[in-house]
């Protein structure tokens, strides 16, 4: 009951934070960044408590639990980004999605128990989840960048544009997130090679191959940016392709095995 109460409060706080940031869409005013960050900070703290309480303080890698954990990391990173470089639109998208995933994990998904893992595997999984979260934020920014470029090209200066930072700032933040995510994804592959007994074993072969493909996509994008100044639609497309591939690697098999075949895996 306590977990459910905390979940409801967290959901309300996340939605209220998103509404404060979405003020330009509602009445044309400026985003209420201070209020939004306070609400989001409280929601993140509650979200952490929910994850610790509902999953016994351990890494639960079942489908909805893992999604809620990723949402927590993304929401935390969104909060930190907005403390230094306000990107209101990022919170408008991330916080409601996080609220939805808390709702599903707390009230819809069946209870699950975390699998026992050695510290080496926990390290590998933790790095992988952070890498996925950082690159997920990059994918959201890529979509916002595409929307922003299209609006500027067609001279559509709608209230939504007030929630977006200058185009150059969006692009700079995008590539910084991709670079950080690429380094973390590299570390994920390295720790997997070192600590996972059979990296190409059952349920792991496709994850490994797709993760390597995503790593190559992001690596090519960063090389193209460094050597040829790639930007705009090419950067957006490659970011989304890389993220889609990584999403299949991380959650594709979990969805099929747990929700379609009803065969839970770690």
pTM for the model stands at 0.88
Closest CA to 257 of 186, 185, 206, 190: 206
* Per-residue tens of pLDDT for the chain, all 266 residues: 688 899 999 999 999 999 888 876 666 566 667 888 899 999 999 999 998 887 766 777 788 888 999 999 999 999 988 887 777 778 889 999 999 999 998 888 887 777 777 878 888 889 999 999 999 999 999 998 888 888 777 666 666 666 667 778 888 899 999 999 999 999 999 998 887 776 655 566 778 889 999 999 999 999 999 998 888 889 999 999 999 999 998 887 777 666 665 665 54
Ramachandran quadrant class, 119 (left: phi over 0; alpha: psi -120 to 50; beta: rest): alpha
Question: How many Cβ atoms from other residues are within 10 Å of residue 25's Cβ?
Answer: 18
Q: What are the distances in angstroms from CA 68 to CA 5, 43, 111, 116?
A: 16, 13, 13, 19
Rounded Cα distance between 4 and 65, Å, is 15
Give ∠ CA 67-266-76 in degrees, rounded to 5: 30
């Amino acid at each position: 009951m306590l977990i459910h109460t905390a979940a409801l409060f967290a959901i309300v706080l996340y939605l209220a934070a998103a509404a404060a940031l979405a003020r330009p869409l509602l009445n044309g005013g400026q985003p209420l960044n201070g209020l939004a960050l306070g609400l989001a900070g409280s929601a993140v703290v509650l979200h952490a408590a929910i994850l610790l309480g509902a999953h016994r303080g351990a890494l639960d890698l079942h489908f909805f639990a893992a999604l809620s954990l990723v949402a927590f990391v993304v929401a935390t990173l969104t909060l930190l980004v907005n403390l230094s470089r306000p990107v209101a639109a990022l919170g408008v998208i991330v916080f409601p999605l996080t609220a939805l995933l808390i709702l599903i994990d707390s009230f819809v998904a069946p209870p699950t128990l975390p699998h026992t893992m050695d510290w080496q595997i926990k390290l590998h999984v933790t790095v992988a989840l952070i890498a996925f979260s950082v690159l997920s934020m990059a994918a959201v920014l890529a979509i916002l960048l595409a929307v922003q470029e299209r609006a500027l090209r067609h001279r559509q200066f709608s209230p939504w544009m007030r929630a977006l930072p200058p185009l150059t700032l969006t692009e700079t933040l995008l590539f910084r997130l991709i670079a950080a995510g690429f380094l973390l994804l590299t570390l994920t592959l390295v720790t997997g090679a070192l600590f996972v007994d059979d990296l190409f074993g059952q349920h792991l072969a496709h994850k490994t191959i797709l993760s390597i493909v995503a790593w190559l996509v992001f690596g090519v994008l960063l090389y193209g940016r460094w050597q040829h100044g790639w930007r705009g639609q090419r950067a957006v497309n490659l970011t989304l392709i890389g993220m889609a591939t990584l999403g299949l690697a991380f959650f594709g098999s979990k969805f099929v095995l747990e929700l379609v075949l009803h065969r839970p895996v770690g």
